[in-house]
Amino acid sequence: MIRKLHTSVGALVVLAGLLLISCEKKLHYKGSNMGREDPVNEEQQDPAPLDGNTLKVLFIGNSLTLDATYLLPSFLNVAGVKNIELTRAYHGAYTLALYDTNYAAANMCSCNTWKTGQDRWRGVLTYLYSLKDVVESNAFDIICIQEYTGAKECWKWTETENAHVTGLLAKIRESQKRKGNDNPEFVYLFSTQFARGLEKLETNFGNDPVKQFDANVATVRELLAATGIKTVISTGAMQQNLRTTALNTERDMLRGDQVFKLAAGPSGQWKLFLLENCSWHETAAGETSELLVSGTVNSDEDTDLGYASSVTVPWKLLGGSPRVGEVLRIHPARWIKTASKEKAARIWEELQGEDPDLPSDWLPVVLK
């Protein structure tokens, strides 16, 4: 549920800039309006492809990659760029180690695409593909891999992490060779940074974001040395810089406060999460007796129809009672496991058909 429309554009600006810079050899401009004054009397034209080339970019990551790329189609359309194709592989909460381990696993990630002229990303977030399938869907000029700085993999460069990251890059290079591409350019997306008061920062870094940032930077330096990657998009640095400016708030710079997730399971237990600093943080939990289950929980011996539960959450846990006429927006969805032993659900089904990344499209609810 969302009570305030939110967006985070820091990463988007850098990503759009990176793509436009990378297009230097593939885009032809006669005149330009890309952020600087044009020479007097210079003829203005939209950018056009040079020799019919198209820049093809692949993003691989978790929900932070969704955030970082969400508005890229709008940025590129406004800029008038006409020869870029974007592809995005996504699995929620996945690390690069998990992408390496499950590279060829079926139903492991979703795939979204965008081409010049389209208003938004195409495709759904359901896990229908292997990462190998996505990587081999095209010959990509740029491949952006993303890690989450809140994960231990970003706190210290270990032999295990080195093996996974270099192993993943080797698999991607091998897949790209099958598409006739021997030299894709890799980019590393260094995402987010924890704010003071959050549990992981308190537990692992003594509530000192500078210590976490130093650990993250040291890890990135080791990664660059081990992989030969030359370009880093540091959304973590941008967010930390914002926290030290007058734009900061008492709670530090967070992505979209007043965004909640309520998860209710077939056992009657429920948990409430608040979205803070690009992560879900549990704020309340309970159990409901208003439950209807058709099937057997955690058993593969029979065919289940499903379950329904009714949960009551006090308004004080949702930021206070709504004002008369205030519009709340709700996005109902369900995760589906195909087997009880699955560590994570394989399918995410949108129950209302809205875009999960676009809160303004969610189901409006007005309380009177």
Where does residue 85 rank: exposed (0-12), middle (13-18), buried (19+ CB within 10 A)?
A: middle
CB 28 within 8 Å of CB 48: yes
Question: Quick one: pLDDT at residue 8?
Answer: 38
Distance of CA 170 to the CA centre of its chain: 23
CB 107 within 8 Å of CB 346: yes
Question: Quick one: pLDDT at residue 229?
Answer: 96
CB 134 within 8 Å of CB 176: no
Q: Where are the beta strands (DSSP E) in the chain?
A: 27-28, 48-49, 55-61, 84-90, 110-115, 142-148, 185-191, 231-234, 260-264, 269-276, 279-287, 291-294, 306-309, 327-330, 333-336, 347-350, 363-366
Question: Quick one: pLDDT at residue 17?
Answer: 46
**195 by DSSP, 3-state: which?**
coil
Low-confidence ranges of the chain (pLDDT < 70): 1-52, 195, 236-257, 276-280, 335-360
Question: Quick one: pLDDT at residue 138?
Answer: 96
Tally Cβ neighbours within 10 Å of residue 251.
12
Q: Which has the closest alpha carbon to 171: 60, 88, 54? A: 60
Could you tell me the domains of the chain? 10-35+46-243 (3.40.50.1110), 260-366 (no CATH)
Structure tokens at 6: 């939110």
- What's the half-sphere exposure (Cβ side, CA atoms, 13 Å) at 313? 23
Question: Quick one: pLDDT at residue 359?
Answer: 66
Structure tokens at 250: 């008492």
- What's the half-sphere exposure (Cβ side, CA atoms, 13 Å) at 105? 13
Question: Quick one: pLDDT at residue 354?
Answer: 60
Q: What is the distance between the alpha carbons of residues 243 and 240, in angstroms, rounded to a whole number?
A: 5
CA angle 9, 57, 35 (to 5 degrees): 45
Tally Cβ neighbours within 10 Å of residue 229.
17
CB 87 within 8 Å of CB 58: yes
Structure tokens at 338: 């195909």
Question: Quick one: pLDDT at residue 242?
Answer: 54
